[in-house]
Structure 1
Amino acid sequence: MPKILIRRAAEQDLPRLVGLLAADRLGAARETPQELDPYRKAFTAINTSPHQILAVAETTGVVVGTVQLSFLQGLAWRGSLRALTEALYVHPDHRGIGIGTTMMGWTIRQARARGCAIMELTSHQSRTDAHDFYTRLGFTHSHAGFKLFLHDTPQTP
């Protein structure tokens, strides 16, 4: 397995991160890597929030993966803090060599260090390989997810 560095994303990583999102079969229909302005706005909001971490996985000096981790305070579960993992992507050319596992291990350690009681994530229903991956990491398929699009946006099935 190659040496994998997980670190906070920097603004100069943004074109590569958007490229990762667009390289995904579902992201290809909704991401526009040639228009970085909306992504810059989102990056700034995420990067300045104490409740979020946008991270990258780097190997041999190349960003090959990304994940976003958000921390949500709730009343349920006795007021527990929970971590929400979003947008875990590994470039297709770098899958199957442990990068996703390393990234998820990193997110779990971050959540534990913050005192989270629960870690949650969503995964598109068509991503059965990803579901198997998360199950191998100890996640249970406990909920059904729903979404409502609030404005005109590219949608994927």
Structure 2
Amino acid sequence: MELVYRSATVEDLQELVALLSNDPLGNQREDPAAPLNDAYINAFDAINHDPNNQLIVVELNDCLVGMLQITFIPYLTHIGSWRCLIEGVRIHSHFRGQGVGEKMLQHAIQLAKNKGCNMVQLTSDKQRTDAIRFYEKLGFKATHEGFKLAL
């Protein structure tokens, strides 16, 4: 399986939003209708212009099969280290269980190492039990309790 990793382009945006909405939780919070909501375009523009953010797509045979967003964050803790935050991990439903997600996360972890990060962190909704098992299989540990405040 030859996966291609590249930065997302604005031309990918409609397909990326569709991918984000293609599960029970995403279906409740995303709006894949065309034309796209301007908020998606503005978010993409902000991500694209921030040197510490990368929106990565994964292709197989010229077909977009996955995505994730990486944010590199400088910290004062851990002796002024850098961390890599991974968000928005999605694999197209037709390609799940085939190793695409594992290779995509390994690629992201390598990018974090290349940046000099000493930690990779991510969150997963507690309802995503399959995703949690997947991350644990890759060596991620639930070491902290996370909190969110909707604004």
Count of aligned positions: 149
Q: Which amino acid aligns with 2:11?
A: Q
Query: Which consecutive segments of 4 or more residues in structure 1 shift more than 4 A?
Result: none
Q: Which amino acid aligns with 1:111?
A: A
Q: 1:60 Cα shift?
A: 1.3
The residue that corresponds to 1:155 in the other structure is none
Give the alignment of 1:87-106 within 5 angstroms: 87-106=88-107
- Residue 109 of structure 1 aligns to a residue whose secondary structure is helix
Displacement, 1:25?
Answer: 1.4
> What percentage of aligned pairs have identical amino acids?
43
1:47 aligns with 2:62: no
| Match of residue 10 from structure 1 | 9
Unmatched tracts of structure 2, length 5 or more: none
**Equivalent-residue separation in structure 2 for 1:97 and 1:5 (angstroms):** 15
Cα-to-partner distance string for 1:49-100 (whole Å, 9 max, x where unaligned): 0000000011111111110000111111111100000010001111011110
**Cα RMSD, aligned residues only:** 0.9
1:63-102 superposed matches below 5 A: 63-102=64-103
**When the two structures are superposed, what TM-score results if normalisation uses the length of structure 2?**
0.95
2: CA distance between counterparts of 1:41 and 1:88?
20
Shift of 1:9: 0.6
Question: Larger relative CO (CA 8 A, sep 6+): 1 or 2?
Answer: 1
Q: TM-score, with normalisation over the residues of structure 1?
A: 0.92
Task: Give 2:26's aligned residue.
Answer: 27
Residue in 2 that maps onto 1:113: 114
Partner of 1:153 in structure 2? none
Report the equivalent of 1:154. Answer: none
Query: How big is each residue's C-alpha offset from its partner over 1:4-47, in whole Å with a ceiling of 9 and x where there is no partner?
Result: 11111111100100000111210101111115221111001001
Instruction: Spell out the pairing of 1:139-150 with structure 2 (5 A cutoff).
Output: 139-150=140-151
CA distance in 2 between counterparts of 1:47 and 1:102 reads: 23
Give the unaligned 5+ runs of structure 1.
151-157
2:46 match: secondary structure: helix
Aligned residue for 1:140, secondary structure, equals coil
The CA deviation string for residues 103-127 of structure 1, in whole angstroms up to 9 with x for no partner, is: 1011100000000011100000111
User: How much does 1:102 deviate?
Assistant: 1.0
